[in-house]
Amino acid sequence: MQPVRGTQDFLPDQSALYRAIESLALGTARLYGYHEIMTPIFESADVFHRSLGETSDAVHKETYDFLDRGGDRLTLRPEGTAGVVRAFISNGMAQNLPLKLAYTGPMFRYERPQKGRYRQFHQIGVEALGFDDPWADVECMAMAWQILRRLGLGDKVRLEINSLGDSESRTAHRKALVEYFQPLREQLSPDSQVRLEKNPLRILDSKDAGDQKLLLSAPQLREFWNENSKNFYSATLRGLENLEIPFVESPNLVRGFDYYTHSVFEFTTTFLGAQSAVLSGGRYDGLIHQMGGPQTSGVGWGAGLERLMLLVEAQSLIPQTRLIAIVPADEKSEPWCQKLAAELRQNNLQCELLLSGNVGKKMKRANKLGATFAIIIGETELANQQLTLKNLKTGEQSLLSKAAALEQLKK
């Protein structure tokens, strides 16, 4: 009985770290006005195939597609944006624009498992819909930078940024790419030969070594920027500089999808081997219209939680709760201790009621659990309606009323 290849169990310590990162990220997003949206983990296959495109590796090779018992073709979500866009369209949310949405949850891709990459993985992401100004792009990156710094990763990541230009610029660049690659068609990988016919921009995403060599002499996108594209990019860089967010320009950073425009960015690291991208995003002004909705601008990013978990120092993130061990000295004390445990929990105090063994064994168990305090109740305490409160870190103990002990524990 082993987990399916490419999946993993999150044991209690890992689950605590996962939830701490998720909570910190969603909490930071709320500071920027983002509200959480929850979409299904599977959708009609058309949602992802239409948004990612049939020539995308994520669709062509990696999606989990299946027929349900009713004969409907469904897909486990490989990424978060398409599901959010589908929800935006099907729930008529265009009347509420602009919108800031955040999401978190599992994603699924049939990839070769390796460090930081799983077939079931988890993402946190944000989508800002209906914002045309470059400030939305800057704010997205600023929020991501704040989350990464709060995770203690400020010195482990760097922001890389590029511009894809507007649709006019991309159309001109696409034409130049076709003219460049047509005579070299036979030298392209089989996948890129298909891309050349259906979407040549996706050749830019190719990981094939031969394709990469040909790309070195290919027409560069920035050669085709018009004034609008140049102005948008300049405003974005000025915004980052104004907020003192460090970045490097990366002319080779691209997205192969037609609906991406203007800003593309990644926070990368050298601490995860080949898996350098920690958080990736960009502006996708054409996606909602491509999926059947009204023409609506969008910008957002997604980050893999497993990769963040590999990078962060767990102890600095997981809240340290003070556990209280309740130790009845005899059977007569147990009912009173049971009621006390319930009262402590109602006051948001974490406690563990230790029932088996003598007092010595129970105290050893309390120390093994990492308890900060022990409450000991025996015959004397019961007779006087008091309890003995012992600080297991300092060894100090005192006999107190229940009300006084509760007040001290709350502090």
Q: What is the pLDDT of residues 20-52, one digit of tens each?
A: 999 999 999 999 999 999 999 999 999 988 766
Which two structure tokens, joined as six digits, stand for 104?
A: 């978190």
CATH number, domain 324-410: 3.40.50.800
**Cα 229 from Cα 361, distance rounded (Å):** 72
Is domain 12-166+226-316 annotated with CATH 3.40.50.20?
no
The domain spans of the chain are: 12-166+226-316, 324-410
Q: What is the mean pLDDT of each run of 10 residues along the chain (411 residues)?
A: 92 92 96 97 91 58 91 95 96 96 96 84 97 97 97 94 91 90 91 84 82 89 93 97 96 78 94 84 93 95 94 76 91 92 93 92 92 93 90 92 89 83
pTM: 0.87
Say if CB 104 and CB 37 are below 8 A apart. no
Cis peptide before 98 (omega within 30 of 0): yes
Q: How far is the C-alpha of 25 from the C-alpha of 367, rounded, in Å?
A: 33
pLDDT of residue 195: 84
